[in-house]
Amino acid sequence: MRRAFVEASTQQGSVLLRPPPPTPVMPPAENPVTVPPSPSQPDSAPPSDGSDLIAARREKLRKHRAELGIEPYGQRVDGLMSLAAARALHSETASAEFEAAEAKRKADPTQVTIDGRPKAKVAGRLVQHRDIGKLVFIRLRDASGDLQVTLSKGNMPSEGEFTLAKQLDYGDIVVAEGPIGRTKTGEICVWASRLEMHSKSVAPPPEKWHGLTDPEIRYRKRYVDMYSNPEVIRTFEARSRIVSGIRRYMETQGYLEVETPMMQPIAGGAAARPFTTHHNALDMTLFMRIAPELYLKRLLVGGMSKVFEINRNFRNEGVDRSHNPEFTAMEAYQAFGDYMTMLELVEGLVYALACQQWRDRSAAGLEVGGSETAPVIPFGSMRIDYRKPFERVRYAELFERACGFPMADMAKVRAKAREIHVKDEAKLDDWLVVNEVFEEVAEPLLNPERPTFVLDYPSAISPLTRPSRSNPVLCDRWDLFIGGMEVGPAYSELNDPDIQRAKFTEQLRGADDEESTFRTLDHDFLESLEVGMPPAGGMGLGVDRLVMLLTDSPSIRDVILFPLLKNTEA
RNA sequence: GAUUGCGUAGCUCAGUCUGGUAGAGCAGCGGUCUUUUAAACCGCGGGUCCCGGGUUCAAAUCCCGGCGCAAUCACCA
């Protein structure tokens, strides 16, 4: 680190603070991106929206060019270290020795101070600016954290560079270098000997103490949200680690990652409304995919034995705290597995991610409970316990526990449905009533603070799923619930082409007018089953929801960088 | 799609119930200050009160319609 700084500090090519005019500096040949400031460059344009704040910043921009000879939009800088790394370089001993020597020199000016403090060159966005006359304190922020830079008029190489320090605005991106020391009050800081402007922020900043809190502006202007609220970057770093953790785990289990079409001629694999698009050259209507399932199964037909895909699905449905029109899911299929194979896979995966997240949160000083091998992670007011094994409960058992009678007792089921005011109870088929009662009465019995697999759903409410060999009323399907949210399902997949065709056809018959505009029989998929697909287990996992749970984020918008919002204009 | 709440300076918020000259802090501009920690002090500027209509002598405030956001519900995962 130290060496990097020394090397970098000898390369003066990146210094932006040039001598004042009339030195006409041409762009260096090796860096054609740089444009020299010229009178023709309209500093006051584009026209501001009338805000004094913007005008004041643009005026500074003009002055920097005209009076200080600075080009405020910089270029490549070598030898930078993160603010956290610079802070870590601070040496109590070196600072104490330096301060003692300075005190001596004050008493006796013939004394010479040797500065043994480590040096650093850092960059960051300015988030605080305190001008105390001949001393300016600024606080810089980068992805690693904050660090104060102290600029003393006596330490700066030129009047202009100190003038720049005094004129800095909240939001500017600057580079500073100098020894790492501390102030009288003990604050670790860079005592700057150099200061360069690398990006003048001309937009009005958020409030420096409260920051940006309006959720709408936070989502619309995520780039402001990210620097104003540092925990946003932490959340997305965690998301990245979780997604790569999923990849690592799946690869360790021998799964191959694949990418299947996101634009599909037929939107299959789930019961959701698709988005429509159009290919001009082929004059073809296409659907954004609602699920990758039918393509992944084709891969099993083709001979791949363990595949997974992590990617976006698009569903033309409502938006709320746990739904965004585009969302990230993982689906995985294993030849010759079944839904219990998938249960073990998902349990191991979610547990491993929770352990990883427990360690990350501990290291960052965030709240955790339990232990590294029995992690407890907060989610709002809940404390979710990811200890293995997860809970397992059969659908029928949970139903009976909730209602006091078996789900096959249709007379009682219908009575219960009327009691809890299931709408259109009389029009619904028996098993749909069972499921309404289940969702209303039985699901609330699940402990939201324990991941729980609900196993063996009724076949009648899972029309595309393979009935169980031992009891065809039920099917080989589970759903995983965590924190009151459904995180994903799994199935023993249907591989009999005739039954699959019959179920698809039946589903199409039940489609209403709107559904029938986008729901058609996927003949190619059925042909692939006729070629022969091995029996398989398959699962889906809502990645955004899992990230919500593991990062204690109450809304899916907090874990999607740019969530969909309505247009504000027209 | 339904219901409820919210929308005032660049930002964070008072003011709306009970109609009567548009407010504060931060940010900005001009000063003072070499150890600040939401720095402090003196002075100054800053508004389509979300949009449109109505009631009224008078509307940020009351009424109607619209837009956006949030929460809950529906659809869905």
Rounded to the nearest integer, the mean pLDDT of chain A is 87
Closest CA to the C1' of B74: that residue is A318
- Predicted ipTM? 0.90
Determine if strand B comes within 7 Å of the CB of A324: yes
Nearest to A160 by CA among A6, A33, A15, A52: A15
Determine if strand B comes within 7 Å of the CB of A148: yes
A170 residue type, one letter: Y
Look at residue A425 in the predicted model and tell me its pLDDT. 79
> Looking at beta carbons, which pairs linking A124-128 to residues 24 or more positions away fall under 8 Å?
A124/A83, A124/A173, A124/A174, A125/A171, A125/A172, A125/A173, A125/A201, A125/A227, A126/A168, A126/A169, A126/A170, A126/A171, A126/A172, A126/A173, A126/A174, A127/A170, A127/A208, A127/A227, A128/A170, A128/A208
φ/ψ region of A153 (left if φ > 0, alpha if ψ in -120 to 50, else beta) reads alpha
* Average pLDDT score over residue span A542-568: 91
CB A290 within 8 A of CB A274: yes
**Helical residues (DSSP H) of A83-140, grouped into ranges:** 83-89, 92-107
SS3 at position A88: helix
Å: A91 CA to B38 C1': 28
Backbone phi, psi, residue A391, to 5°: -70, 150
Q: Which helix (H) or strand (E) holds A344?
A: helix A339-363
pLDDT digits (tens, 9 = 90+) for A345-380: 999 999 999 999 999 999 999 999 999 999 999 998
Look at residue A112 in the predicted model and tell me its pLDDT. 84
Q: Cα(A285)–Cα(A282) distance, rounded to whole angstroms? A: 9
pLDDT surpasses 50 at A28? no
Determine if strand B comes within 7 Å of the CB of A325: yes
Look at residue A568 in the predicted model and tell me its pLDDT. 67
Give the burial class of A386: count Cβ atoms within 10 A of its Cβ; 0-12 exposed, 13-18 middle, 19 or more buried.
Answer: buried
Q: Cα(A522)–Cα(A516) distance, rounded to whole angstroms? A: 13
Q: Is the pTM of this model over 0.95?
A: no
Angle between helices A293-302 and A523-531 (to 10 degrees): 30
Å: A61 CA to B17 C1': 48
Longest distance between any two alpha carbons in chain A, whole Å: 102
Determine if strand B comes within 7 Å of the CB of A201: no
Å: A548 CA to B13 C1': 30
pLDDT digits (tens, 9 = 90+) for A423-456: 777 878 889 889 989 988 899 899 999 999 999 9
Q: Cα(A350)–Cα(A332) distance, rounded to whole angstroms? A: 14
A14 pLDDT tier (thresholds 50, 70, 90): very low
- Measured CA to C1', the nucleotide nearest A152 is B34
Residue A448's CB: how many other CB atoms inside 10 A?
Answer: 17
A9 pLDDT tier (thresholds 50, 70, 90): very low
Q: Which helix (H) or strand (E) holds A231?
A: helix A230-252
Å: A394 CA to B3 C1': 36
Query: Which residues of chain A between 483 and 542 are close to nucleic strand B, CB under 7 A?
Result: 486, 488-489, 542
Determine if strand B comes within 7 Å of the CB of A421: no
A173 pLDDT tier (thresholds 50, 70, 90): very high
Å: A558 CA to B63 C1': 38
Q: Which two tokens stand for residue A111?
A: 């004394």
